[in-house]
A = this chain, B = another copy of it.
């Protein structure tokens, strides 16, 4: 196992821009070179989200992306699959409310790895923080085509309400575009997590740079 080969500690993580490598949103494109492109353009975190794929394919993709990121000092977070995160030597997992509960996931992963939790209410945010989550994905802040069956959008007010209740880093997610980065950062987000803003763009490098520029010039 490649567990913790890079040994990145949580305090070093740059939460600014998490690119979610969503295999459906990427529409069949082979992700590792595109992720490398996103990282070279400045993405600060990568989350692999491969719902519905065969486990052997998620495993292959996760380990290949981990290799790609190894030279970049960028954390790889695996959605839902704690076993694949451990096997591929990823830095952590991201868990939705329908994934594994935080407590047993932490017991398996240990304290050194990152666990992010998707929340859409103040109650979920408080529970995740008190349960030991390292960061929150808060959303959907805006309407988004990348995910279906989500609760109503939070808007920047809902984001602000959650941010004010927790001390751990908060990533705004759901319909985030370069144009909206300024207002979600102004609302307190420590960073953003994006799917469509990168995978729906013709040019990954340009998309990532636009998101980062918006974050710096808010």
Contacts and interface: CB of A to CB of B under 8 A. Distances in A.
Interface of A: 1, 54-57, 59, 80-84, 86-87, 97-101, 104-105, 107-108
The winner among A55, A101, A108 for most chain B CB atoms within 10 A is: A55
B80 A108 contact: no
9 contacts: A1-B104, A1-B107, A55-B99, A56-B98, A56-B101, A59-B101, A59-B104, A81-B83, A82-B83
B87 A104 contact: yes
B87 A56 contact: no
Contacts of A87: 100, 104-105, 107-108
Contacts of A101: 56, 59
Contacts of A84: 100
A14 to B, nearest CB: 27
Contacts of A97: 56
Contacts of A107: 1, 87
A89 to B, nearest CB: 10
A1 B108 contact: yes
Oligomer: number of copies = 2
B98 A55 contact: yes
Contact of A83 (B54, B57, B83, B98): B83
A108 B56 CA distance: 15
A111 to B, nearest CB: 15
B56 A99 contact: yes
Given A82-B83, A83-B83, 9 more contacts: A1-B104, A1-B107, A54-B99, A55-B100, A56-B97, A56-B98, A56-B99, A57-B98, A59-B104
Contacts of A57: 98
Name the residue among A54, A81, A83, A98 with the largest chain B CB count within 10 angstroms: A83
A100 B56 contact: yes
Contacts of A81: 83
Nearest to A88: B104
A107 to B, nearest CB: 5
A55 B80 contact: yes
Contacts of A55: 80, 98-100
